[in-house]
Structure 1
């Protein structure tokens, strides 16, 4: 039996400060707001992937939560984020264990954001469409 299709993907996270979160993801990260539900705001990330942030009690310690953006221009993102005074958790670094090039920042909620480029040619290229 073939499973039914999946058309899109949305990851929802809680935030204690929806206004600061919206400012960060709209103004600094440049994500487009696709749906404002009042207490939840959903952003287009890439392709058919979305992130939603909802005004709910966020975890006190967001350890273990990581949002990863895949790009060919990790250094460009690093420079962009520094220009907006976003504290850099880890500058662009080659991670030999996973064969990736990556940097890390945190959003206003303390969620870890990884900006990453896969160096392994087996990683699928982004679908255009």
Structure 2
């Protein structure tokens, strides 16, 4: 049997203060709003209508602030212009590390920010030939 195709991908994040999170993704990151479902908004995370980020009203408080525990999330935007995103967010007053860093272990240039709901958001560029070109 042939595996059926997957056409699109959506990651859902949950926030207690959805208004603050929606402002962050709409105004600070300027992600295009694709659909407003009332308690959940879905944004285009990349061109081509293939990857999306949903930000929804949480039904309970977060279990942990550590994104690397079971159930934790790090949402990564892959971009060829990590430095440009760093400057863009710096100009908007987002708390940032001093500059993007290179990870020898993963061979990526990246930096992390925290959204209003406490999620870790990463901006990353792969520095390796075995990753699909953006």
Asked if these proteins are the same fold (TM beyond 0.5), I'd say yes
Partner of 1:9: 9
SS at match of 1:115: strand
Say if 2:69 is the partner of 1:63.
no
Question: What is the CA–CA distance in structure 2 between the aligned matches of 1:5 and 1:32, rounded to whole Å?
Answer: 25
Q: CA deviation at 1:13?
A: 1.3
Question: What is the CA–CA distance in structure 1 between the aligned matches of 2:11 and 2:61, rounded to whole Å?
Answer: 14
User: Which ranges of structure 2 fall in alignment gaps of 5 or more residues?
Assistant: 68-72
Partner of 1:74: 82
Q: Give 1:1-129 correspondences, 5 Å limit.
A: 1-46=1-46, 47=48, 48-56=50-58, 57-64=60-67, 65-89=73-97, 91-126=99-134
User: Which ranges of structure 1 fall in alignment gaps of 5 or more residues?
Assistant: none
- After TM superposition, which residue ranges in structure 1, 4 or more long, deviate above 2 angstroms? none
Closer/same/farther in 2, CA of residues 112 and 102 from structure 1, 3 Å limit = same
TM-score (norm 2): 0.89
Structure (1 or 2) with the greater strand fraction: 1
TM-score (norm 1): 0.92
